[in-house]
Amino acid sequence: MSDALTLWVDGKPVQLQESVDLDLKVGIHRVTMSVDLQKLNKKLRVELVDVPGSAARVEIVTGK
């Protein structure tokens, strides 16, 4: 994976691959993504997919 992207969940780094599945416990979690546009050499797509039967909800909060 490109060094143009970095991902953290609750402050802990996540190893990036073409597709990343996050299995998170019940509660609020902070997902942070850093994109270095100088190094990004292809299109970036981020997709949140609902898990069938899950009661989980996502709320997008933009940064500062």
Residue 6: give the domain boundaries: 1-64
Statement: residue 1 has pLDDT above 70: no
Burial classification of residue 59, based on how many CB atoms lie within 10 Å of its CB (0-12 exposed, 13-18 middle, 19 or more buried):
exposed
Q: CA neighbours within 13 Å on the CB side: how many for 27?
A: 6
How many structural domains are present in the chain? 1
Per-residue pLDDT reduced to its tens digit, 22-54? 888 888 888 899 999 899 888 888 888 877 888
Statement: residue 19 has pLDDT above 80: yes
Statement: residue 56 has pLDDT above 70: yes
